[in-house]
Amino acid sequence: MSLWSRITYVFRGDRLNHEIDEEFAAHIEEAIAAGDDPAEVRRTFGSQLRLREQSRDAHIVAWLDCLRADVVFGWRLLLKRKITTAAAVLSLALAIGACTSAFRLIDALFLRPLPVAHADRIYVLAIRIPDFNGAPLTFDTFAYPDFARMRAAAQGQAELIAASLASRTDLTYATDNEMEKGYVQYVSGWMFSSFGLQPALGRLLSANDDRTPGVSPYAVISYNYWTRRFGNDPGVLGRSVHIGSGIFQIIGVGPKSFTGTEPGIVTDIFLPAMMHPAVARDDNSWLRTLAVVNPGVPIEPLRANLDAVNLHFETERAKGWAGMSQHNIDMFLQMKLLIQPAASGVSRLQDDYRRALIWLGVLVVLVLLIACANVANLMTAQAASRTREMALRVSIGAGRSRLVQLVLVENAMLALFSAALGALFAWWAAPFVVSRINPPDNPAHLVLPADWRVLVFGLLLTLAVTLLFGLAPALRASSIQPVTALKGGEEPRSRHRSMYALIAAQVAFCFVVLFFAGLFVNTFRHLKSQPLGFEPHDLLLLETVAPHGQPPESWSQMADTLRAVPGVKDVAIAGSPLLSLNNWSGNIGVPGIPRNDQWGYFLSISPNWLGTVKMRLIEGRDFNPTDSFPGQAIVNQAFIKTFFNGADPLGRTFEKINPSGSHQLCQVIGVVPDAAYSSLHVPILPVAYVPVRQMDSKGVLNPAGSGVFLLRTSGNNPLSLAPTLRRLVAKTNPAFRVSNVQTQQELVDNQTIRERLLALLAMFFATVALLLAAIGLYGVLSYSVLQREREIGIRIAIGARIGSIARLVTAQIFVSVCIGAAAGIALGMASVRYVQTLLFGVRGTDPSMLIAPAVVLLAAALLAALPAVLRAARINPSIMLRAE
Amino acid sequence: MQGSLDLLVLKVLSRQPKLHGYAIMTAIKRTSGDVLNAEVGSLYPALHRMEETGLIRAEWAAKDTGRRTRIYQLTAAGKRQLAAEVTRWHAVSSAINRVLQEA
């Protein structure tokens, strides 16, 4: 008989028993027919049951049979204790689900290799400047001429691939007035073949499409975009798309699995790097350099080789920087080239969320540990009520390992149910978190497949959880001494000790989670209440482009047209919106004051911009329509402090010194308070506001190609005006095109997305952790009161007061909570410096940050202890003692 | 002696296939001249074990009384095993005989 039949017999045990019995019956019948004495024949069979067991063991896989019996028994037990089971399954499910969600996110963003050939041989180059204004600075973008030299130097050792940062770009398949957004990425033509990718349709870009600047207007679209935008229509081949000032012809669709090189962004359109407008410029760093290193090539010599090429390039370039101080140039040239593994791609999302996700992972693991401790305590309490059963099993011959298996199987079933429920939770939660990353109109696209990687993780996690909460109770159950247990003797003190140790651990972990949650929530609150210096409510931003450039008069005429729209109270123009991460900077020189190496920041604004954004003028005047840049400027207080040594600057002049050495002279005509500029995360920057009317070095007016109209509206929902305004702009002057409409409030909110996400999730986990810890505390206390009912009864009978009973019941647990809290404080203090980069305006060592979680924990502990204490106090000694 | 029951069962079945448990028992008793007696308590576990390891094959056969009975016969593996066991038995018994004659 095969193994398979032995396995199937495990689940058809009755039939097997029946067959064995039938054979024996036939034997007896035969013997009697042959004339033997019936009683004698039956006697020879001895204990038929034992014989049957022996034969049965020959027929089936014995351990599997035991397992089956354990599963059936475990299932009955779980069903019998519905409430405990539900509590355990729910808390574990929540924790396992959260862990799996965190794994899915971390896996998708950092671990999963790109779906290309030789992903393990892909590296990315980066530059580190060891001491840039006191702090190390790392960046990973290069200018194309630099890239071309490095590629030539790496020939034979590695293939270097240029890939621009995928950027959300205006594009259209029809006229300029029907613009849409798409993620466009300029890549080296040989990227697709180096990655071993095959087209789903048409052809992919090749090295031939990427030899000469500007001559190959071809585009490859990603499969994902093909499905989303064109419904997989094969007719897409040959269509042309307008991007910037170029027209590109679609020649193919990429493979289904490939979504670009940046996790978090699905690239829509790939263009040849040679078509990038700045491909010939050595002062515009716009591309990442990926390297597919040939097998067996050592990394360090390759790095040193590329480092030398890059340094030579930058040294040549720095010779032209007349306007930059020698100190800054020397700093800059201390740069070192790094080469880092990039099997899973490179993206800004990785940089932004690396630490945040790691810390979320830590919180989630802590919650998991708390849940495990909870279930372990539940199991221990239950094991206590099963002492007699276990003792009985040992006495009738069950081996220790069988008992361990019995308890472990029961726990594994609990863990499996939790894992199934947790999987459901993770299935929902991971995409939910991703949808909360990035602004709502431009959510991150993280590919989150639920494949074998996630499955294996889930199974390993379930196994680990089972061992974590189940092994100790199982071992304890097996080490039972039947003699003492069956006599009804006192169980060993050690059981209580382990329960209290678990309580202390729970409290410690819970404290850490609460502490971190407090830090993240306060960080978010601080950022949120950061004084902006302007009023973002009801401010609508119309980002507008004029592809061929328009003189300042046309821009202000358009502003006048917009001002006449009902619901619009005020209109102004600026070069870019505030808090849009745009930086325009330069060195500043003030006559009579020695130059420092700090940067000054600039924003071009129209007259009445101050009034429209509601920025107060401290002294001086606003711009008038004839002011220009160079010419006049309004500066903030940080600017005065940084460059005028705090002296009154009104009427004085400063120069903007550009890297090329050219100077632009400005007279300060007004002073405004400090306000946020490009980011809420950095300290207030020295900013000079200059007129949108800009002149070149010969004094000729520059036609502006892009700008933003700021509209102060009176309605509740400024965005409802958007369609009207778009049409109005197109109708009034076809040379203008609205490329993006958003509110200033959205830009402010975008600044705090990561912090809000962290605060939200940390709060959620803190609530869960607190709830679990409180339930755990409550469970252990009620159990210990139950165990000591008789003792308490006697104490009450001989006159103990409620106070002393309460002390008796809670003393031990109070000590555990205190030890746990102390350990939690130590843990929190030790780890807080690793989260400091995620914090803003909050110091981890601040006592108030430690006191708040401690108070919350203590309150929760008191609340959890109350029912048990009441119960102890209500014990009626006469009933209790009579019952015994 | 250890393993001798298996040898006897295999030999009986090689002489006469398709016997049920009782018949095997009586065959051993008869051919040994009532000297060897296979106990029910060892015979059936041995039969089931040999069935499991593939030395013998069992099937159900209907009897006149309407009851079913389980009958056994040798498999190819069983035949090879029998040959090996017989050789081993002869080697062992002649060795024992030599030891006894020495004394």
Domain definitions of chain A by residue range: 3-60, 63-112+351-489, 119-343, 493-531+747-884, 539-714
Contacts of B44 in chain A (CB under 8 A): 23-24, 51, 54-55
| pLDDT value, residue A615 | 93
Q: How confident is the model at residue A321 (pLDDT cuts 50, 70, 90)?
A: confident
B69 and A30 in contact by Cβ < 8 A?
yes
| pLDDT value, residue A842 | 83
A23 and B21 in contact by Cβ < 8 A?
yes
Of B39, B52, B65, the CB nearest to A29: B65
In this model, does residue A589 exceed pLDDT 90? no
In this model, does residue A384 exceed pLDDT 80? no
Q: Which of A51, A52, A56, A59 to mutate to test the interface with B (most CBs of B within 10 A)?
A: A51
Taking CA atoms, A65 is separated from A6, A8, A392, A417, A471, in Å, by 10, 10, 21, 22, 22
Q: Are A136 and A128 in contact (CB under 8 A)?
A: yes
| pLDDT value, residue A494 | 52
Of A1, A45, A58, the CB nearest to B45: A58
Mean pLDDT of A120-132: 87
More confident residue, A492 or A570: A570
Q: How confident is the model at residue A851 (pLDDT cuts 50, 70, 90)?
A: confident
Contacts of A10 in chain B (CB under 8 A): none
Mean pLDDT of A62-66: 77
Mean pLDDT of A666-684: 90
Mean pLDDT of A737-741: 83
In this model, does residue B85 exceed pLDDT 80? yes
| pLDDT value, residue A470 | 82
In this model, does residue A225 exceed pLDDT 90? yes
Distance from CA of A11 to the nearest CA of B (A): 17
In this model, does residue A136 exceed pLDDT 90? no
B21 and A25 in contact by Cβ < 8 A?
no
In this model, does residue A806 exceed pLDDT 60? yes
When mean pLDDT is compared over A160-169, A172-181, A714-723, the highest value belongs to: A160-169
Distance from CA of B91 to the nearest CA of A (A): 30
Mean pLDDT of A109-124: 90
B40 and A27 in contact by Cβ < 8 A?
yes
In this model, does residue A62 exceed pLDDT 80? no
Contacts of A45 in chain B (CB under 8 A): 40-41
Q: How confident is the model at residue A883 (pLDDT cuts 50, 70, 90)?
A: low
| pLDDT value, residue A495 | 57
pLDDT in tens, A525-573: 988 888 899 999 899 999 888 878 889 889 999 999 999 998 899 999 9
In this model, does residue A697 exceed pLDDT 60? yes
| pLDDT value, residue A441 | 67
A27 and B20 in contact by Cβ < 8 A?
yes
In this model, does residue A489 exceed pLDDT 70? no
Residue of B nearest to A27 (CA): B22
Interface predicted TM-score (ipTM): 0.84
Q: Are A273 and A188 in contact (CB under 8 A)?
A: yes
Average pLDDT, chain A: 86
Q: How confident is the model at residue A288 (pLDDT cuts 50, 70, 90)?
A: very high
Mean pLDDT of A163-178: 81
Claim: this prediction has a pTM higher than 0.80: no
In this model, does residue A490 exceed pLDDT 60? no
More confident residue, A386 or A673: A673
In terms of Cα–Cα distance, which of A92, A777, A97 is closest to A412? A92
| pLDDT value, residue A632 | 92
A34 and B22 in contact by Cβ < 8 A?
yes
CATH number of the domain encompassing residue B38: 1.10.10.10
CA–CA gap between residue A600 and residue A586 (Å, rounded): 6
More confident residue, A48 or A863: A863
In this model, does residue A651 exceed pLDDT 70? yes
Cβ–Cβ contact B61 with A under 8 A? no
Mean pLDDT of A197-215: 92
Residue A698 three-state SS: coil
| pLDDT value, residue A840 | 84
Helix A62-80 × helix A82-106 angle, to 10°: 110
Q: How many domains does chain B have?
A: 1
For tokens 């500043």, the residue is A588
DSSP lists the bridge partners of residue A601 as A585, A687
Cβ–Cβ contact B65 with A under 8 A? yes
In this model, does residue A884 exceed pLDDT 70? no
A59 and B52 in contact by Cβ < 8 A?
yes
First to last CA, chain B: 22
In this model, does residue A772 exceed pLDDT 90? no
- At A401, the amino acid letter reads S
What is the per-residue burial (b if ≥16 Cβ within 10 Å, else e) of A610-626?
A: bebbebeeeebebbeee
Contacts of A1 in chain B (CB under 8 A): 51-52, 54
In this model, does residue A304 exceed pLDDT 90? yes
Mean pLDDT of A135-143: 86
Q: How confident is the model at residue A513 (pLDDT cuts 50, 70, 90)?
A: very high
How many beta-carbon contacts under 8 Å exist across A and B?
60
Q: What is the widest separation between alpha-carbon atoms in chain A?
A: 135
Q: How confident is the model at residue A133 (pLDDT cuts 50, 70, 90)?
A: low
Q: Which residues contact A865 (CB under 8 A, 6 or more apart)?
A: A777, A778, A781, A809, A810, A813
Percentage of chain A modeled with pLDDT above 90: 31
A30 and B20 in contact by Cβ < 8 A?
yes
Distance from CA of A55 to the nearest CA of B (A): 5
More confident residue, A465 or A571: A571
- At A373, the amino acid letter reads A
| pLDDT value, residue A13 | 73
Of A1, A22, A55, the CB nearest to B44: A55
| pLDDT value, residue A2 | 60
Percentage of chain A modeled with pLDDT above 70: 96
Average pLDDT, chain B: 86
Q: Are A101 and A368 in contact (CB under 8 A)?
A: no
pLDDT in tens, B41-68: 888 888 888 888 888 988 888 877 777 8
| pLDDT value, residue B103 | 59
Give the CA angle between residues A69, A74, A78 to the nearest 5°: 155
In terms of Cα–Cα distance, which of A418, A417, A411, A414 is closest to A474? A411
Burial class (CB in 10 A: 0-12, 13-18, 19+), A722: middle
More confident residue, B65 or A301: A301
Contacts of B5 in chain A (CB under 8 A): none
Contacts of A43 in chain B (CB under 8 A): none
In this model, does residue A134 exceed pLDDT 70? no
| pLDDT value, residue A603 | 93
| pLDDT value, residue A509 | 93
Q: How confident is the model at residue A399 (pLDDT cuts 50, 70, 90)?
A: confident
Neighbours of A321 (CB within 10 A): 17
Mean pLDDT of A45-64: 73
DSSP lists the bridge partners of residue A218 as A249
Residues of chain B numbered 11-40 and touching chain A (CB < 8 Å): 20-23, 26, 39-40
| pLDDT value, residue A488 | 58
pLDDT in tens, A84-100: 788 888 888 888 888 88
In this model, does residue A473 exceed pLDDT 80? no
When mean pLDDT is compared over A380-384, A821-825, B41-45, the highest value belongs to: A821-825
Contacts of A34 in chain B (CB under 8 A): 22, 26
Percentage of chain B modeled with pLDDT above 70: 96
Cβ–Cβ contact B98 with A under 8 A? no
For tokens 């950092």, the residue is A110
| pLDDT value, residue A486 | 67
